[in-house]
Chain A
Amino acid sequence: DSGVTQTPKHLITATGQRVTLRCSPRSGDLSVYWYQQSLDQGLQFLIQYYNGEERAKGNILERFSAQQFPDLHSELNLSSLELGDSALYFCASSASGVGEKLFFGSGTQLSVL
């Protein structure tokens, strides 16, 4: 058990809809990362937060947004969903967020039908 909690584990929705994925980091970790994993593109970095502030941005679409709350949990919002958004979405956390060991949650499997 990594200590990182992601909910829900599975999510099935339709095109055009909006969903919210939730992540609780390990106790004491201030940094949260979001990654998207699909079969053909590996693990793609989306965005990173540190203590409530955005620190780094990767290949995150404009239809996607995220935030980290004062209690350090984070949410990833995906809107106007398309078939191609179907993937595994992972959250990871680390203590300070600079080149450290990342602890990953078990992921949310999103299926857009």
Chain B
Amino acid sequence: TQLLEQSPQFLSIQEGENLTVYCNSSSVFSSLQWYRQEPGEGPVLLVTVVTGGEVKKLKRLTFQFGDARKDSSLHITAAQTGDTGLYLCAGNTGGFKTIFGAGTRLFVKA
């Protein structure tokens, strides 16, 4: 069974703080994606990582794919209230099925 476990499940921080959320699996993924979902909307893709050890930056967000392609992390620097949302990782093992983790719900307080 392919499972993606995300941690923490919930995170509440002050504006300006840094944070890291994690996505772990025992399966190897050919690609892994991070999505952000806001209330009442569908998830929106932030980044796709495909190479073990890959690091991608998107403004204040840094994404890393584990060397073994089984895990990933998302680091946010100097969080803003606009970063509030549900962060989902999604993995594909090379087939047609893309599975999602349960998500980390982030709340950034002003």
List chain B positions with a Cβ less than 8 A from chain A.
Answer: 30-31, 33, 35, 40-45, 48, 88, 90, 92, 94-103
Q: Is A92 a contact partner of B33 (Cβ separation < 8 A)?
A: no
Query: Are A42 and B95 also in contact (CB < 8 A) when A2-B44, A104-B44 are?
Result: no
Measured between beta carbons, the chain B residues less than 8 angstroms from A4 are 42
Shortest distance in angstroms between B100's beta carbon and chain A's nearest beta carbon?
4
Q: Kindly provide the distance from the CB of A108 to the nearest chain B CB, expressed in whole angstroms.
A: 11
Show 30 A/B contacts (Cβ-Cβ < 8 Å), sorted by A: A33-B98, A35-B100, A41-B102, A42-B102, A42-B103, A43-B43, A43-B88, A43-B102, A45-B97, A45-B100, A48-B96, A56-B95, A56-B97, A58-B97, A90-B42, A97-B96, A98-B94, A99-B30, A99-B31, A99-B92, A101-B33, A101-B48, A102-B35, A102-B98, A103-B45, A104-B43, A105-B42, A106-B41, A107-B41, A107-B42
A98 touches B44 (CB 8 A): no
Which A residues touch B90, using CB under 8 A?
A: 102
Residues in A whose Cβ lies below 8 Å from that of B102: 41-43
Q: Which chain B residues lie closer than 8 Å to A48 at the CB level? A: 96-97
**Residues from chain A with Cβ under 8 Å of B42 in the complex:** 2, 4, 90, 92, 104-107
Counting contact residues on chain A (CB < 8 A from B), the size range is 20 to 34
A residues 40-74 near B (Cβ < 8 Å) are 41-45, 48, 50, 55-56, 58
Residue numbers in B under 8 Å from A90 (CB-CB): 42-43
